[in-house]
Amino acid sequence: MSNLVIVESPAKAKTIQKYLGKNYEVVASMGHIRDLPKSKLGVDVEDHFKPVYVEIKGKEDLVKTLKKEAKKSDKIYLATDPDREGEAISWHLAQMLGMDLKEANRVTFNEITKTGIHNGMDAPRTIDQNLVDAQQARRILDRIVGYKLSPFLWKKVRKGLSAGRVQSVAVRLIVDRELEIRAFKAKEYWTVDAKLLAQGSRSAFGAKLHSKDNKKLTINNKEEADQVLADLKDAPFVVSSVKTGLRKRSPAPPFTTSTLQQDASNKLGFQARRTMKAAQELYEGVEINEIGAVGLITYMRTDSLRVSQEAVDEASQFILSNYGKNYLPQSPRVYKSKNNAQDAHEAIRPTMPSLTPAQVKPNLTADQYKLYKLIWERFIASQMANALLDTVSADVAANNYLFKASGYSVRFDGFTVLYDVPQKEEDEGSSGMLPMLQAGDPLKVKDLQGNQHFTQPPARYTEASLIKALEENGIGRPSTYAPTITTILTRGYVEREAKSLKPTVLGEVTTKLMEEQFSNIVDVEFTANMERYLDKVEEGTTDWVKTLEEFYGDFAKTLEKAEENMSGTRVKIPDEETDVVCDLCGRKMVIKVGRFGKFLACPGFPECKNTKKLVQETGGFCPVCGGKVLAKKSKNGKGYYGCEHNPKCPFMTWDKPLTDICPKCGATLFKKAGKAGKVHCLKEGCGYERAPGAEKETDSE
């Protein structure tokens, strides 16, 4: 008997083939095989939003192969990914191959291991039409928004633009944050900080001024700070009270798609797309010495925190064997998912908790290893005991002023021995452990000074914080975060500035237009509600056609009104002025966007047609010829640094130029990548180098 199993990727096919044996032929569909046509809407909005699916261009030979293999087989199993997209791919395959939709031929694998595969094959089911309808509803909704709005933007703003149900909201979040930053006005405030010595102690501890006459004290300027310092001159500092306590810190839960992307960004510097690529590879299977091809993690698109009892037991056994009984909690930890989480899959965890990162490192790429280590450590730590901190807080009286100091020491490291998430200390001025203090102890003032501060504007979004905001607001789903960020960057609505996401002029202009004419599309709450309706389709409690009808009626009217409002008008994208002076006419040049990206152009066009390459100076100078060192990008997008006189001067480096000058020869210093990267001089014959310290670096990333 011959059995055909169809999966999505060749890597997954290879791993599964190993476990199923010679009676099974495992082939890959290479993702979707049918989709809506690219050249037209492909949806009959008048006939209950009936989609018109076509075979994806370039997959003709693959379709022939799949049909040929299907004819030879006694039984066909559809084993595409265990999510909405995977269900839709299986549905399309069944339609294309003429399979009976009432037959139990759909199998899913939460993990690509021997157990996971055999469990999946032992429990075939029919295709879940609710999942298929949910995918169709999302696909059609996104197609309608994209194909109806994009031409409008082409006519009113610029050709080549696109709008999207999730991407437009993501851009709005970034634009709104930028407007907040611009509108922000810094306010001055001061603190009075003391360094105090207890009797018999040589180490000073810090204390912050908290209140005066039992009222919280706010110091607005230098004059007020100086008055406080004058009041405290020669004042006796005495401990008025001491409180000790025990604080418990619990581990973070295992990863969901969102938290994995956030932590990989924060800890590894991975962009969301890079994270998901490595995670996909770890899920589909890797050749491991003495084991063979095996999936190392469970399915990586999930917002559930559920973990199988088998995995919990394995983790507990590993902890007991390697760390001891003290590192196990009294009972296994159970984490509760959010109310709107789709609970079809477990949280992201290692499929074999006993398989440590060190054991698999020789068989993994650098990215795979780093991500597996992150996932493995987070999961094992999630089943470990709390960390215990001994805390102490002291109130210090000085005349009618009150200072506060606090500190802690680690009594038991618990889960932090393996994986820790930095937390802001709850108490101001918290540091290491305070010296032994008792009420009534006199203290010696080693230092007392006022310090000026200014309130800070909200930070720009990073990939990590944007993903967190999208998740918290209910925008998109785990599978959409990475492609959404890629899209808004590719379309030029947003650009990277170091790790931050900054809206471009185009992004701001387009968002303003969308807010004025299509307020619902860029409204966070509206989009979140739409997401909830689509989830109800997946649950089988709402009809997908009815959901689309309710959306489309208002949308069509809004589009018609926008066409009327902007009849005959076109939005001008303002030019970004620079400090670069046109060497032909003396005007300040502006940044333009062409077919090959950004460039400098004279605003006097057409009288002056001068253009230049847009270069990013770093503040460093070439160690070979003395020219300016510029930040550049290779053909594959990797950043490096090179001389402005290239190709005459061949200098290039991956090392980052600093504003520090070499104390030995006076040339620019460069820093190797990484926190521990050394600082060194690249001038031939110099040889100066030092460990990274407090040097000031240019913002040239």
24 in catalytic set: no
Other Cβ atoms within 10 Å of 128 Cβ, number: 18
Strand stretches in 364-497, DSSP E: 387-398, 401-412, 430-431, 442-454, 494-497
CA angle 106, 111, 117 (to 5 degrees): 55
Kindly state the DSSP code that residue 163 receives in the 8-state scheme. Answer: -
- Give the dihedral of Cα atoms 265, 271, 277, 279; nearest 10 deg: 10
Taking alpha carbons only, the member of 5, 118, 20, 119 closest to residue 70 is: 5
CB 26 within 8 A of CB 17: yes
Widest pairwise Cα distance in the chain: 96
36 vs 147: CA distance, rounded Å? 12
Kindly state the DSSP code that residue 33 receives in the 8-state scheme. Answer: S
Write the CB contacts of 330 (distance below 8 Å, at least 6 apart in sequence). Answer: none
Write the CB contacts of 105 (distance below 8 Å, at least 6 apart in sequence). Answer: 75, 76, 77, 78, 94, 99, 124, 126, 127
Q: Which long-range contacts (CB under 8 A, 24 or more apart) does 497-501 make?
A: 497/460, 498/699, 498/701, 499/265, 499/269, 499/462, 499/463, 499/701, 500/459, 500/460, 500/461, 500/462, 501/174, 501/460, 501/461, 501/462, 501/463, 501/466
Pairing of strands 188-198, 205-212: antiparallel
The active-site residue, picked from 283, 299, 323, 461, is: 299
According to DSSP, the residues that pair with 467 across neighbouring strands are none
Kindly state the DSSP code that residue 362 receives in the 8-state scheme. Answer: G
Q: What is the secondary structure of 236-288 as a DSSP string?
A: PEEEEEEEEEEEEEPPPPPB-HHHHHHHIIIII---HHHHHHHHHHHHH-EEE
162 vs 151: CA distance, rounded Å? 8
Taking alpha carbons only, the member of 668, 672, 680, 669 closest to residue 654 is: 672
Catalytic residues: 299
